[in-house]
Amino acid sequence: MFPKFNSICDKHKKVIEILFYVGFTLNIFYFFLRRTMFYVFMDALPWMGLLGLSMVMLFISAVIGIMRSENIREFIADIILLATGALQYFIGGHYPIQFFMTFVIIAARRKNAKKALLIFTVVSTIIMIFVLYLSQNGYIYNQVAPKDNILAHALGTSSTTDCAADWFFILCGYVVLRDNNFKWFEYPLLFALPQYIYHLTGGLSATICSYGVLITCFILYALKSLSINVKINKKQIAIFDYSYLYAAILSFVMAIFFSQSLAEKMQGKLGSLQARLTLSHQALAEHPFSLFGANIEESGAGGIGNSDIAYFFIDNSYVRIYTMLGAVMFIIMMVLITRLLSKARKLNLTTLYFTLIFIAVDCLIEHHFTEYWCNIFISLALADWKSFGIKSQTIITNDDKTD
């Protein structure tokens, strides 16, 4: 769209890429560390300076990306995304994390997804192992809470469920990065990790979805190892491109009908899920519609906060986006993640495709969809996934050349 600007950028392509990757690395580092017990230091000037530096770099990268749009439709789409992030921040009045998310998504357009995913996996793994070691050896606080007849440990993070979720997304990042090209000895280690984390944190939903991802990968690995030629036409599984939309519809239907009176009639038969559905119903009842979100006060701390304050936290990602970030952001998020699923299918990226589907399931119970430093896949929704190439072991084929 802007040939002279593009010409200048082409001359400094490496500098522009370095600007993005450095900003991206600093951003992942800051927000992942903020989820740990180190958060007590993170509002200090040096740390805020680190965050500011990363956001400046990502904002410049986003502006460059917008100016380098390949067509007017792409240009308008980026402007709408950026404007929506700004409006939900100023109208909704939340901490500007979701506004930052729009910088990252736009800045990552056409960047190498494999490099970005490697950065996420390495940085997040180092931080999580570091705080686990510190917490288990008494150097930092290890929050402990009764959960399902066990004592659940936060392992140096802010909450037990967030800790399990972080490890789930790290595992997802790793398996997608490896594209199921594992050595035989990696599978026992990978299968042991969710069990170990569950034993310590009690994070059931993240554990179930972790095993869903790993079992799918193992089946694909077994098919390849046994030379079993199973092929699935792209169009036969296209229905799963809309997994997040199905999950969102299910979320709203259940939340609308699961009132407090129904919960009382159920008499706790659904356990913690029942409480989550009731809170989602309350959120929709109090905030039925907003274009750009609302400032909803929550009191959570994993259910172990001040007992004098009524617990209220929106765990369902889809209801959370709609009520807190607004209808416009909800539509944008659904479009972005659906397009990424479609892209994964068309590029024959089987591991990415099925991993995204399990994340859609996890988001029914967890609130991490728009925590972009954790759910790295929404950050890289517009990135260049062709950098993974097409692997011969994929079971997704294209029998229709026009697809």
148, burial (CB in 10 Å: exposed 0-12, middle 13-18, buried 19+): exposed
User: Which residues touch 207 (CB under 8 Å, ≥6 apart)?
Assistant: 164, 168, 194, 195, 197, 198
**Six-digit token string for 114:** 């494999």
Q: Let me know the angle formed at the C-alpha of 310 by 34 and 96, rounded to the nearest 5 degrees.
A: 35
Q: Residue 273 corresponds to which amino acid? A: L
Q: In angstroms, rounded to a whole number, what is the distance separating the alpha carbons of residues 304 and 153?
A: 12
- The closest alpha carbon to 213, from 235, 182, 245, 249, belongs to 182
Counting Cβ atoms within 10 Å, is residue 94 exposed (0-12), middle (13-18) or buried (19+)? Answer: middle
Q: Which residues contact 122 (CB under 8 A, 6 or more apart)?
A: none
| pTM for this prediction | 0.91
Q: What residue ranges do the domains of the chain occupy?
A: 3-244+326-397
pLDDT, residue 397, reads: 58
Strands 150-153 vs 144-147: parallel, antiparallel or unpaired: antiparallel
Instruction: Name the one residue in this structure whose structure tokens are 């594209």.
Output: 179
CA dist., res. 339 & res. 322, Å (int): 19
**pLDDT score for 272:** 67
CA 278 to chain centre: 24
Q: Provide CB contacts within 8 A for 291, sequence distance 6+.
A: 87, 326, 327, 328
d(CA 276, CA 255): 9
pLDDT for the residue numbered 262: 64
CA 333 – CA 43 distance, rounded (Å) = 29
pLDDT tens for the chain, residues 1 to 403? 677 777 888 888 899 999 999 999 999 999 999 999 999 899 899 999 999 999 999 999 999 999 998 899 999 999 999 999 999 998 877 778 999 999 999 999 999 999 999 999 999 999 999 999 999 999 999 988 887 677 899 999 988 999 999 999 999 999 999 988 888 788 899 999 999 999 999 999 999 999 999 999 888 888 877 777 766 667 778 999 999 999 999 999 999 988 766 666 665 556 667 778 888 998 999 989 999 988 888 876 544 444 456 778 899 999 999 999 999 999 999 999 999 999 999 898 989 999 999 999 999 999 999 999 999 999 999 999 998 875 544 555 555 444 4
Q: How far apart are alpha carbons 178 and 384 in whole angstroms?
A: 16
Structure tokens at 129: 């192992």
CB atoms within 10 A of CB 112: 19
d(CA 342, CA 303): 37
User: DSSP readout, 331-377?
Assistant: HHHHHHHHHHHHHHHHTT-HHHHHHHHHHHHHTTT---TT-TTTSHH
pLDDT score, position 301: 53
In which region does residue 259 sit, left (phi positive, over 0), alpha (psi from -120 to 50) or beta (all else)?
beta
Helix (H) or strand (E) holding 153, with range, is strand 150-153
Q: Is residue 86 within a helix (H) or strand (E), and if so which, with residue range? A: helix 72-92
- For residue 176 the two structure tokens come to 């997608």
